Structure 1
Amino acid sequence: MKLIYQGKTKDVYRLDNENVVLKFKDDVTGEDGVFDPGANTVGLTIEGVGKTGLRMTEFFFQKLKEAGIPTHFVEADLDEVTMTVKDAAMFGNGLEVICRYRAVGSFYRRFGAYCEEGQPLDGFVEVTLKDDERQDPPISGDGLAQLNIMSKDSYQAIKQLTRTISDIVKLELANKGLELYDIKLEFGRDQRTDDIMLIDEISGGNMRVYKNDKYVTPLELEQLLLGKMN
């Protein structure tokens, strides 16, 4: 394998074929030692969170496969804490798509004059550009089209996919007495077919989840959802 990218929470390697391998780390995003799925920096290291994230990602990608939703997932290796995926072409330099069910985090910091913290939201979808230097600026569908990052049709397709995927995750969590406040997703195009597909991961590291109004950490979330590993 050839290392092609070192990320905040995962390293990326290229295989000899058209697939790539994601190596999950024990680092999570946040600030001042506090976890925040929307942060631009590594905030802390939590032992075991890499394997936790991979286990949850495998679980959710299998659920999405059953629902007929395209993803880049090929297979996972929990012992090596790696995931083999299809190679994906990014939109621009990468986008993050957030689906919000509660007014928390950056949403509340920006729009707190118009809402109460924790106020319910109806699956509000927003897109930000992956740009650490500019603090991941939000962008509209019109903006994405005018900057030639994606077409308006692609934006609508991703918006609908985001709602569908997020609702599936929300329901799975609700079945365990857990409430999804928000979730961050990423999309790309399959290099072989040009189809839009979900990429990256679905884990406690990119969502906020609460149980009885108390925040659930990524490690706790995996155990509550899937049970303890053997």
Structure 2
Amino acid sequence: MARRRMVYEGKAKILYEGPEPGTLIQYFKDDATAFNAQKHDVIDGKGVLNNRISEHIMTALTSIGVPNHFIRRINMREQLIRACEIIPLEVVVRNVAAGSLSKRLGIEEGTPLPRPIIEFYYKDDALGDPMVTEEHIVAFNWASQQDIDDIISLALRVNDFLSGLFTGVGIRLVDFKIECGRIWDGDYQRIIVADEISPDSCRLWDIKTGQKLDKDVFRRDLGSLADAYTEVARRLGILPEGGNGKRGPKLVH
């Protein structure tokens, strides 16, 4: 196999140069991190599950007209994606109070919010990804006001879709994070959803029991992260019924 050129390595993924201009290969690692990588472990099979779950969601978003970087899955750990200029923001959509929102505002975790709340965080590990306002974003030229409007529109469409998708399989979408990028079609610029959408980037609670099925299992030492992610994949129909992941994820092709 020809040696590939690595473009970028993050905490959970590696990007390699793609086979064609304007493409990248996104490789999903088994690494699990929390608290800005202060807590770290390697969870066997996590990358496989996140690859397939993100593929499932991105494909569905494409089918309803939400633009994103996903092209196709290459294998169990890799996707072919469109290269884009990543906007240095994490876009968080909250439906239920949890995590930092509960801590900042003293709202009891699990409290439904009156409407979805969108927050922006500047992507900088050294600074701890600080929360920023639209004023900061425009002032420091991270994105234009039109970009922000497009990002908010995309984020709300993704929220509507994911809320319905997960409710249909007995899961509450508490909150989630997306990243966005810019692509150019000729002289025309578009904003698209990039990175991934998986239990790494969503808070997912069982509707009946409140059981956490996301990275909070790792953050808070609540049990097996692989089992939680496997349950999400099973409910979405990516794993066969009865698949428990005990011997590694057995995924439907």
Q: Same fold (TM over 0.5)?
A: yes
Aligned to 2:7: 4
Aligned to 1:187: 180
Does residue 204 (structure 1) correspond to residue 199 (structure 2)? The answer is yes
- Counterpart mapping for 1:111-126 below 5 A: 111-112=105-106, 115-121=107-113, 122-126=115-119
Does residue 51 (structure 1) correspond to residue 39 (structure 2)? The answer is no
Aligned to 2:247: none
1:225 corresponds, among 215, 226, 236, to 236
TM-score (norm 1): 0.89
SS in 1 for 2:129: coil
CA contact (8 A) 1:204 1:222 kept: no
Task: Give the share of equivalent positions with the same residue, in percent.
Answer: 28
Aligned to 2:78: 82
Amino acid of the residue matched to residue 190 of structure 1? I
- Counterpart mapping for 1:19-168 below 5 A: 19-31=23-35, 39-41=36-38, 43-79=40-76, 81-91=77-87, 94-112=88-106, 115-121=107-113, 122-168=115-161
CA contact (8 A) 2:70 2:80 kept: yes
Unmatched tracts of structure 2, length 5 or more: 214-227, 241-250
SS in 2 for 1:204: coil
CA contact (8 A) 1:3 1:13 kept: yes
Q: Relative to 1, partners in 2 of residues 1:83 and 1:42: Cα closer, same or farther, differing over 3 Å?
A: farther
Q: Relative to 1, partners in 2 of residues 1:147 and 1:101: Cα closer, same or farther, differing over 3 Å?
A: same
Give the whole-Å Cα distance in 2 for the aligned partners of 1:146 and 1:117.
33
Unmatched tracts of structure 1, length 5 or more: 32-38
SS in 1 for 2:169: coil
Give the whole-Å Cα distance in 1 for the aligned partners of 2:182 and 2:121.
17
Query: RMSD over aligned Cα, in angstroms?
Result: 1.6
Aligned to 1:35: none
Amino acid of the residue matched to residue 221 of structure 1? V
1:214 corresponds, among 207, 211, 225, to 211
Q: Relative to 1, partners in 2 of residues 1:60 and 1:105: Cα closer, same or farther, differing over 3 Å?
A: same
SS in 2 for 1:202: coil
- Residue 46 of structure 1: how far off its partner (Å): 1.4
CA contact (8 A) 2:7 2:17 kept: yes
Give the whole-Å Cα distance in 1 for the aligned partners of 2:145 and 2:56.
31
Q: State the Cα deviation string for residues 179-218 of structure 1 (Å, max 9, x = none).
A: 0111110000015553100001111111110112111122
Q: Relative to 1, partners in 2 of residues 1:42 and 1:162: Cα closer, same or farther, differing over 3 Å?
A: farther
- Residue 106 of structure 1: how far off its partner (Å): 1.1
SS in 2 for 1:195: strand
Give the whole-Å Cα distance in 1 for the aligned partners of 2:200 and 2:10.
14
TM-score (norm 2): 0.81
Structure with higher RCO (Cα < 8 A, 6+ apart): 1
SS in 1 for 2:48: helix
SS in 1 for 2:94: strand
Higher gyration radius (CA): 2
Q: Relative to 1, partners in 2 of residues 1:87 and 1:13: Cα closer, same or farther, differing over 3 Å?
A: same
Amino acid of the residue matched to residue 208 of structure 1? R
Aligned to 1:34: none
